[in-house]
Chains A and B, each alone.
Chain A
Amino acid sequence: MVGGRGFGARLLRLYLPLAFFLVAMLFPFYWMLITSIKPNRELYNARIMPLIVHEPTLKHYVDLLTQTNFLTWTYNTMLVAVVTTAVSLVLGAMIGYPLARMRFPGAAVVAIGVAATYLVPQPLLFIPMADIINRLELGNTLTAVMLTYPTLLIPFCAWLLMGYFKSVPRELEEAARIDGASRVQAMTRVVLPLCTPGLLSAGIFAFTLAQNEFLYALIFLTKSDVRTVPVGAITELIRGDVFYWGQLMAAALLGSVPVAIIYSFFVEHYVAGLTAGAVKS
């Protein structure tokens, strides 16, 4: 780097825009945090400088945990996310594997069908789905959302995993086959272990998508004790025209923490999953 001019250029090209992006992207989370620990007299006083907390309190968190079903919602959200992720990963891998490595009649049709189901947005399906769930008498059960979330996640997992499955050299599989491994063994003992990064990527990505689900949960889950965090927060912490802002922010923050923690452990895998669709592997 050359002296002053170099720093000036770097300031303009790197530090200033970087600071701008960081502030713009992270401010809402900062806002969530400090709002959640402000006492009401600060929250609803327009004359107080709002950017910092003067007398922090955990009252909203206590209220959220004791006066609402927040813990139940969290449990429901986690349960649904884990089950749907597992189901989607298994079924997605079972679709992706033959599509990536086998030659069989009908492969092209299935491949296009899977791509199409991935891209058909849920808004086209929610009204007929509401009627179907009603007729199956699954309203207000977590089964309803566990059946519907994978509609998006299975095609996604299949699509993502296909890229990884394709990348395993055929010779490895053939060597195992010559040694007497069956097709199933070649898959479970040779190909799948080599695709662990792909399985992780798909799993993490599917998990965050499942946590983000809202529309189906909003429609199917109308009783408090079966709700997920997003639906519970938006329907029960806003009553009529009354917004419980402190509790809303506490719920938003606590609801985001599990996703953020899991994400922070697997950032690389998440990013790989995110970019796999766009960048050829």
Chain B
Amino acid sequence: MSVRPAPLARPAPVAGRPLSLRGLLEREGAFSWIMLAPGVLFLLAFVAYPFFYGIYLSLQDRPVARAGAFVGLANFATLLGEGVFWQVTRNTFVYTLVTTVLKLLGGLAMALVINQSFRARNLVRAALLLPFIVPTILSTIAWMWIFDPTFSVINWALVKTGLVSTGFSWLGNATLAMVSIIVVNTWRGIPFYGITLLAGLQTISPDLYEAAAIDGASATQRFWHVTLPIIKPILVIVTMFSVIFTFADFQIVYALTHGGPANATQVFVTYAFDLGMSGGQLGMGAAAALTLLPALALVIVVLALYLRRE
């Protein structure tokens, strides 16, 4: 079925030691591979195999529950020839880019705020992280009601304060629907940035700020020349993680808009889901999902190298 890495050459049996499991477990190489085997086999079977099987599927015309026919790159050609695909691409990039900038700035602000000392700081920090803990679909259900066309609390507030005379159709208008999914993604992601960046801020020794202050650095200068350089590695890693997961987001868009209205918020994964699952076109769906890969691969490789560097 799947490819197993070639079993490693064992060192020649040491004379006098019987080749028992016990003996084997005492050898570093054998012990390591015996420990690794179950997990590695699992990952090969349920990650590596589906990944390559997905590539194989993408080259087929394959309706659900029927045999497929090899069609080469026809699925990709069809996708690239459709206006919807380019709209989906644009949507995904807009969604990822805008939310990333907002989460980064918002998270940094949150980290700087809670890095000050005040009472009940741990409690506040725990509470602020809630949006990230609670299952996304469940919190998005609350947002669905917040954006309800008739009973939106935002509309109620806007009308009540006299800012507008009639409420908006948040999820029914192309631009506002995009704004809505961006708001929810940002809301859920800010605490992730905030708490991880806070951990970074806490590694900075107060001495550094004192030294900078003595040298006459203003608060802004201290931020740019002390804080930022120190937390930069964390900033990079957190951002790249977040980009990967936002790029491949499904839950928020699926629950709030289903990609609508008229594909205005359709992103790669909801699009692939519609083609492959709702539409039953496994081949097309697999192809659509794979179009995520080039952009993702770039981020993943950079991040993997960055992580390995430590």
Chain B nearest CB: distance from A162 CB in Å?
11
| Minimum distance in angstroms from B203 CB to a CB of chain A | 7
Q: Which residues of A contact B109 (CB under 8 A)?
A: 17
B220 to chain A, nearest CB (A): 13
Cβ-based interface call for A197 (8 A): no
Alpha-carbon gap, A182 to B151, bound state (A): 66
- Shortest C-beta distance, B231 to chain A (Å), equals 9
A14-B118, A127-B272, A248-B145 as given contacts; A43 in contact with B151, CB under 8 Å: yes
CB-contacts of B254-310 with A (<8 A):
254-255, 268-269, 272-273, 276-277, 282, 285-286, 289-290, 292-293, 296, 300, 303-304, 307-308, 310
Interfacial chain A residues near B187, Cβ < 8 Å? 24-25, 28
Q: Inter-chain contact count A-B, CB under 8 Å?
A: 288
Q: Does B51 contact A (CB under 8 A)?
A: yes
Which among B47, B124, B293 has the greatest number of chain A C-beta atoms within 10 A? B47
Known pairs A211-B135, A229-B135, A278-B238; A98 contacts B118 (CB<8 A): no
Q: How many Å from the CB of A270 to the closest CB on chain B?
A: 8
Contact status of A214 and B289, CB under 8 A, knowing A95-B35, A267-B122, A278-B234: no
- The CA-CA distance from A184 to B22 in the complex, in Å, is 9
Contacts of A264 in B (CB 8 A): 126
**Chain A 129-164 interface residues, beta-carbon cutoff 8 Å to B:** 129-132, 134, 147-148, 150-151, 154-155, 158
Asked whether, in the complex, the Cβ of B39 is within 8 Å of the Cβ of A91, the reply is yes
Task: With A98-B36, A105-B29, A183-B31 as known contacts, state yes or no: A277 contacts B237, CB within 8 Å.
Answer: yes
Contact mask B26-57 → A, CB, 8 Å, 1/0? 10110111011011101100111111011011
The interface residues of chain B lying within 8 Å CB-to-CB of A211 are 135
Find the B residue at minimum CB distance from A19.
Answer: B113
Contact partners of A277 in chain B: CB under 8 A = 237, 241
Asked if B124 and A123 make an inter-chain contact with CB atoms under 8 angstroms apart, the answer reads: no
Contact of A274 with B293 in the complex, beta carbons under 8 Å = no
Q: Tell me if A62 counts as interface (CB < 8 A to partner B).
A: no
Contacts of A184 in B (CB 8 A): 25, 31
Q: Which residues of chain B come closer than 8 Å to A253, judged between CB atoms?
A: 138
Chain B residues with CB under 8 Å of A219's CB are 277
CB distance from A220 to the nearest CB of B (A): 11
Question: Is B76's CB within 8 Å of the partner chain A?
Answer: no
Please give the number of chain B residues whose Cβ is less than 8 angstroms from any Cβ of chain A in the complex: 105
Known pairs A51-B153, A128-B50, A234-B137; A215 contacts B250 (CB<8 A): yes
A183 and B33 CA atoms in complex are apart in Å by 13
Least distance between B184 CB and chain A CB atoms (Å): 9
Interface stretch, picked from B83-91, B170-178, B193-201, B205-213, is: B193-201
Q: Which of A53-61, A64-72, A109-117, A167-175 contacts B (4 or more CB under 8 A)?
A: A109-117
Q: Given the interface contacts A17-B113, A91-B42, A230-B135, does A271 sit within 8 Å of B199 by beta carbon? A: yes
* Interface size grouping (class) on chain A: 35 or more
List of A residues within 8 angstroms of B248 by Cβ: 121-124
Asked if B93 is an interface residue, CB under 8 A from chain A, the answer is no
Q: Tell me whether B136 is interfacial, beta carbon within 8 Å.
A: yes
Q: Are A124 and B192 in contact (CB under 8 A)?
A: no
- The distance from the CB of B72 to the nearest CB of chain A, in whole angstroms, is 18
A267 CA to B54 CA in the complex, in Å? 38
* A94 contacts partner chain B, Cβ-Cβ < 8 Å: yes
- Counting CB contacts under 8 A, is B139 at the interface? yes
Q: Do residues B142 and A21 form an inter-chain contact, with CB atoms below 8 A?
A: no
- Closest A residue by C-beta to B276: A127
The verdict on B130 contacting chain A, using a C-beta distance below 8 Å, is yes
> Is A279 within 8 A of B234, CB to CB?
yes
Secondary structure type dominating chain B contacts? helix
Asked if A75 is at the interface of the complex by the 8 Å CB criterion, the answer is no
Query: What separation, in Å, do the CA atoms of A263 and B276 have in the docked complex?
Result: 36
CA A123 – CA B92 in complex, angstroms?
14
The 8 Å CB contact of B195, one of A29, A46, A109, A271, is A271
Once the chains are docked, how many angstroms separate the CA of A142 from the CA of B28?
37
**C-alpha spacing A243/B9, complex, angstroms:** 62
Beyond A28-B187, A46-B151, whether A127 also contacts B57 by CB under 8 A is yes
**In whole angstroms, what is the CA distance A260 to B38 when docked?**
32
The interface of chain B, by Cβ under 8 A from chain A, is 5, 8-9, 22, 25-26, 28-29, 31-33, 35-36, 38-40, 42-43, 46-51, 53-54, 56-57, 64-65, 109-110, 113-114, 116, 118, 122, 124-131, 133-139, 141-146, 148, 150-151, 153, 156, 187, 190-192, 194-196, 199-200, 203, 234, 237-238, 241, 244-245, 247-248, 250-251, 254-255, 268-269, 272-273, 276-277, 282, 285-286, 289-290, 292-293, 296, 300, 303-304, 307-308, 310
Known: A123-B272, A151-B47, A233-B141. 17 other contacts (CB 8 A): A25-B131, A28-B146, A29-B142, A46-B151, A94-B38, A105-B9, A106-B33, A110-B36, A110-B40, A113-B43, A125-B51, A128-B54, A218-B254, A219-B277, A248-B145, A264-B126, A271-B125
Could you write out 12 A-B pairs with CB less than 8 Å apart?
A29-B130, A32-B139, A91-B38, A115-B308, A127-B282, A128-B286, A183-B25, A208-B133, A233-B137, A259-B135, A260-B134, A267-B126
